[in-house]
Amino acid sequence: MFDTDSSDPDRSRETERELQSYFRLWQPSPPILLVPMMPSIECLMLDHPNVLESRLGRKLEPIERDAGRFEPKGFLKARLKELGVESIPDLFRSLMRSEIEILRTDKRIAKLRQFVQKRALVPG
């Protein structure tokens, strides 16, 4: 699995092609299966901008929303100082319960939780 760092399908395909070329140089056996992973956590924050806007103390401009949808991880990294944290993991650790509840309403989170629970090694 690899992080695409972008929600743009063309950039994701380009990254995958580059990685395939790199790994072909080493001719691994068996071949490596590359699985692109869109930065869904970062996308989630931008799909629910009220959480970010609350933290920033201002509304996101339309151009900021577009930039964030195109490259969510880079968008958040560029605003870490303004958000009062040092890293993206710090941002998520600093979320308040009310902010977490807003993000939990997203259908993708519910599906992800179901997926993980079905495959958990520990019952429950």
- Predicted TM-score of the model (pTM): 0.61
Give tens-digit pLDDT for 13-53. Answer: 888 888 888 887 877 666 777 777 665 778 788 888 888 99
Q: CA-to-CA distance for 66 and 46, rounded, in angstroms?
A: 9
Residue count of the chain, please give it: 124
pLDDT value for 32: 75
3-state helix, strand, coil in the chain (%, to 5): 65, 5, 30
Q: Which of 25-34, 92-101, 111-120 has the lowest average pLDDT?
A: 25-34
